[in-house]
Amino acid sequence: MDMGVGLEEEVEQSWSLLSWGASCVMVFGGVVPYVPQYQEILRTSNTEGFSTRVCLVLLLANILRIFFWIGRQFELTLLIQSVVMILTMLAMLHLCCSIQSTNRVSTRQHHITDLDVRYFWRWSRFEDYLIFCFAFTVMSAFVTFLSSTRSCLWRRWARWRLCSRPCWACRSCCRTSRTALPGA
């Protein structure tokens, strides 16, 4: 009888360890591809192969995921994953801004306060990206606060996010295929 109880405890500990390991993979798995990119940009002092628009999309998506978690709690691992991804994207933006400022030939700099749509998300200073992220976070917090008592809004928001993600991927694939095809 004691042998059966000990075996059950070992199995439960194994599952707990496996679950913890899977959670760590989920949290840091999305960040792993950016480590070699970060190292390559740092080594070559060249940001041409990296699009800061990727950072924009991932920052917005993860900020929204955090506020969605406030309205409808889901697995804590996904919340931590969002925080880790936000920190990673900010690190990538910081590196890109640092590299671009040292390689800049032109003296003309672009800032968020210029309010020039042509240079949206192509600012010269890292602080401009932080200001945008802070403003977006404050706006999202305000909307979250206003809609926190209405569960139908949370369901609609979840449905919109579920439907919009494949659209972003399709748009990216179409754009990539157009630039990859000769004569397109």
pLDDT digits (tens, 9 = 90+) for 101-145: 776 655 667 766 676 666 777 777 888 889 999 999 999 888 888
CA 154 to chain centre: 21
Cα separation, 90 vs 74, in Å, equals: 24
Q: Is the pLDDT of residue 51 over 80?
A: yes
Please report, as a single letter, which amino acid is at residue 71: G
Q: Where are the domains of the chain?
A: 31-143, 150-184
Q: Is the pLDDT of residue 60 over 60?
A: yes
Cα separation, 63 vs 136, in Å, equals: 8
Q: Which residue has the tokens 């979840």?
A: 158
Straight-line distance from the first to the last Cα atom of the chain, in angstroms, rounded to the nearest whole number: 73
Let me know how many helices (H) and strands (E) the chain has, helices first: 6, 0
The crossing angle, in degrees rounded to 10, of helices 126-147 and 52-71 is 30
- The pLDDT assigned to 175 comes to 55
Q: State the average pLDDT over residues 161-178.
A: 59
Higher per-residue pLDDT: 46 or 173: 46
| pTM of this structure | 0.72
The answer to whether 64 and 37 are in contact (CB under 8 A) is no
- The pLDDT assigned to 181 comes to 46
